[in-house]
Amino acid sequence: MAGKLLLEVVTPEKLLLSQEVDEVTCPGTEGEFGVLPGHCHFLSTLKIGELRYRVSGTTHFMAVLWGLAEVTPHKVTILAEIAEKAEEIDVERAQAAVEKAQRRLETGGLPSEVKEAQISLEKARLRKKIAERTQKSQAR
């Protein structure tokens, strides 16, 4: 596995991805971080964001919603509450979720309801952005 990392993305439901990759970029809670083969050991918490990984010059995208990343010199393990590959996200459904979350946010309510609506909007926008990237790259 010289020059490669094993990337594994695990959710409570399944092993979503197990693949050798050239590079991984993760949405850490303290900021985005990149990992190349030979990286030092570390742990990081993850926020809602885009996970990118490169294989033979092609960049792939995934939505990650919270979790942990464990990095070793030869492996990156993502333990995510929710993770979705870009190609598995329905753009129309994601757009509908953005609109629904925006309506919920506009109606206001208790602080906890507003916070929940903000998180829903952030998740929906992320899913839409990632799905649209895949649609655009497939159209080329």
Q: How far is Cα 71 from Cα 44, in angstroms, rounded to an integer?
A: 8
CATH architecture of 89-139: Up-down Bundle (1.20)
Residue ranges of domains in the chain: 5-87, 89-139
Phi, psi of 112 (to 5 degrees): -65, -35
In 3D, which of 32, 33, 64, 31 has the Cα closest to residue 49?
A: 64
Q: What pLDDT was estimated at residue 138?
A: 56
Q: What pLDDT was estimated at residue 139?
A: 55
5-87 matches 89-139 in fold: no
Q: What pLDDT was estimated at residue 1?
A: 44
Q: What is the pLDDT along the chain (140 residues), one digit of tens a residue?
A: 458 999 999 999 999 999 999 999 999 999 999 999 999 999 999 999 999 999 999 999 999 998 999 999 999 999 999 999 988 888 888 888 888 888 887 887 777 777 887 888 888 888 888 888 766 655 55
Q: What pLDDT was estimated at residue 81?
A: 92
Helix (H) or strand (E) holding 117: helix 111-139
Which tokens sit at 133?
Answer: 């990237």
CATH code that applies to domain 5-87: 2.60.15.10
Instruction: Tell me the CA end-to-end span of the chain in Å, nearest whole number.
Output: 31
Phi, psi of 66 (to 5 degrees): 65, 160
Q: What pLDDT was estimated at residue 131?
A: 83
